[in-house]
């Protein structure tokens, strides 16, 4: 069996490597290709993957896979956002990840309770699962590089990084509702611990560790010529350290990892101010790489660059792994009218309305507001929260419904957003170029 899987996965990776540059120009995303490949391996195809999301052991595996994928992606996204935390450019993604997500949860919960006839707790849980946008599958609409300050791309990137952690308290609230014997005490605990403390603790721990570890590495390299190489170990170690430390103090690990990535980029930004990392490093020969790692002026840019490159590779592998599994999970049960209607309502009505309200007073061009409203991509974050909910107390009577509805919305999002990302972003770049001319 291992030999079979070796050649199957090997063939997929080689094929993606060969056609990657072609796919980037086509109106189809890598996520959609991985999804189709998963379907071929699952019950729709050769039956090599048998995954039942209603079985506890399978749910546990799915939770771990999606958790790792999100951790890698959140760190990578944080590293790409080269803006000071007090920069005004952060205001829009913060609005989208807080007010926008709250409005999304409220509207989806109403749809679930009123249109689908779900109990309030289940409706809220489904809404919280579907609320976060995805930092992995939205890569085509994220910032192009660390110098990219386009408000549309920066906001979508920042929102995807923030709300994958910000959705956690609402999932916890929905899971606690059926068994809350003391409503007053339960609500207070949720407000102070699950919402305020866990959010702030996660951000603080992640930022502190990202900043401290980056400064220690730079000090060792600049002063002693040590701590060289092994950026892959450092990357994985920092992700694990930030995540584990945040959980140890009952903070949200996803927010901690995202903050750790931002903190590392902030250290590089402090060192180089307004000079782009590529300009700091310049064109380097292989022999110059080692000197750049310990150079007084280049060490920070070199560290951030190498860690970012490794993180991006991990992110691509994580995306492939999760979407292949999701493809293998698909069945004809997902093609129910109410699930498709829920997905269309989220994409065509709920998301645009939430964006319109949460961006009131923000100076955005109509084209920018429309793109932000359209690209509320749902993906790996929602699959993780689904697996987490099923593994941690969701009503088993509604397990199949939650799974089918979530997967249907994710597939619909991959199809619609994946096919439109390349042409729409190309049009947007042309519009931006004409506006600057």
CA 316 remoteness from chain centre: 12
- CA distances 109 to 176, 187, 321, 407, Å, are 16, 18, 30, 17
d(CA 78, CA 405): 30
pLDDT digits (tens, 9 = 90+) for 308-326: 888 888 888 888 888 888 9
Over 70: is that where the pLDDT of 38 sits? yes
For residue 1, the 8-state DSSP code is -
What residues contact 57, with CB distance under 8 A and at least 6 apart?
none
Position 181 confidence tier, pLDDT thresholds 50, 70, 90: very low
Over 90: is that where the pLDDT of 205 sits? yes
Cβ burial 278-311 (10 Å sphere, 16+ → b, else e): eebbeeeeeeeeeebbbbeebbbbbbbbbbbebb
- Of the CA atoms within 13 Å of residue 329, those in its CB half-sphere come to 27
pLDDT of residue 363: 85
Say what the pTM is. Answer: 0.91
Over 60: is that where the pLDDT of 293 sits? no
Write down the H helix ranges in 220-252. Answer: 231-248
pLDDT digits (tens, 9 = 90+) for 103-144: 999 999 999 999 999 999 999 999 999 999 987 665 667 776
For residue 389, give the nearest of 219, 171, 169 by alpha carbon.
171
Q: Give the end-to-end CA distance of the chain in Å, rounded to a whole number.
A: 59
For residue 300, give the nearest of 209, 207, 206, 216 by alpha carbon.
216
Domains detected in the chain: 30-436 (1.20.1530.20)
Over 90: is that where the pLDDT of 17 sits? no
Could you write out the DSSP letters of every residue in 313-364? Answer: HHHHHHHHHHHHHHHHH--GGGG-HHHHHHHHHIIIIIHHHHHHHHTTT---
pLDDT digits (tens, 9 = 90+) for 56-104: 888 998 999 999 999 999 999 998 898 888 889 999 999 999 999 999 9
For residue 125, give the nearest of 355, 385, 334, 347 by alpha carbon.
385
* 3-state percent helix, strand, coil for the chain, nearest multiple of 5: 80, 0, 20
For residue 303, give the nearest of 273, 350, 271 by alpha carbon.
271
d(CA 70, CA 64): 10
- CA distances 257 to 63, 85, 157, 238, Å, are 17, 15, 15, 8
d(CA 139, CA 380): 12
């Amino acid at each position: 069996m291992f030999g079979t899987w070796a050649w199957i996965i090997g063939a997929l990776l080689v094929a993606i490597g060969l056609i990657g540059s072609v796919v980037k120009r086509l109106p189809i995303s890598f996520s959609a290709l991985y999804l189709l490949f998963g379907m071929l391996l699952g019950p729709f195809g050769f039956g090599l993957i048998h995954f039942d999301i209603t079985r506890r052991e399978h749910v546990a595996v799915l939770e771990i896979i999606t958790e790792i994928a999100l951790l890698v992606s959140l760190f990578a996204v944080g590293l790409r956002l080269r803006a000071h935390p007090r920069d005004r450019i952060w205001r829009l993604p913060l609005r989208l990840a807080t007010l926008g997500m709250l409005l999304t949860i409220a509207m989806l919960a109403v749809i679930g309770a009123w249109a689908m006839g779900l109990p309030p707790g289940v409706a809220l849980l489904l809404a919280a699962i579907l609320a976060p946008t995805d930092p992995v599958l939205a890569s085509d609409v994220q910032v192009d590089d660390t110098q990219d300050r386009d408000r549309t791309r920066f906001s979508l990137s920042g929102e995807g990084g923030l709300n994958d952690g910000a959705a956690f308290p609402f999932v916890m609230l929905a899971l606690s509702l059926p068994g809350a014997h003391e409503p007053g005490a339960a609500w207070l605990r949720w407000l102070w611990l699950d919402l305020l403390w866990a959010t702030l603790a996660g951000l603080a721990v992640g930022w502190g560790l990202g900043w401290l570890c980056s400064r220690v590495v730079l000090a060792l390299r600049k002063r002693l010529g040590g701590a060289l190489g092994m950026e892959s170990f450092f990357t994985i170690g920092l992700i694990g350290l930030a995540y584990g430390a945040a959980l140890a103090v009952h903070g949200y690990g996803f927010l901690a990892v995202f903050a750790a990535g931002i903190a590392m980029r902030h250290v590089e930004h402090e060192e180089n101010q307004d000079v782009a990392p590529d300009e700091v490093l310049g064109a380097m020969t292989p022999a110059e790489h080692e000197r750049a790692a310990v150079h007084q002026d280049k060490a920070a840019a070199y560290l951030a660059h190498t860690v970012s490159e490794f993180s991006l590779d991990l992110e691509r592998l994580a995306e492939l792994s999760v979407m292949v599994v999701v493809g293998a999970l698909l069945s004809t049960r997902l093609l129910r009218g109410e699930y498709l209607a829920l997905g269309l309502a989220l994409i065509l009505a709920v998301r645009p309305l939430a964006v319109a309200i949460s961006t009131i007073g923000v100076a955005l061009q109509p084209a920018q507001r429309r793109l932000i409203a359209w690209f509320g991509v749902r993906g790996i974050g929602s699959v993780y929260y689904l697996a987490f909910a099923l593994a941690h107390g969701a009503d088993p009577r509604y397990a199949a419904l939650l799974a089918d509805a979530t997967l249907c919305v994710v597939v619909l999002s991959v199809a619609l957003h994946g096919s439109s990302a390349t042409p729409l972003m190309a049009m947007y770049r042309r519009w931006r170029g004409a506006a600057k001319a």
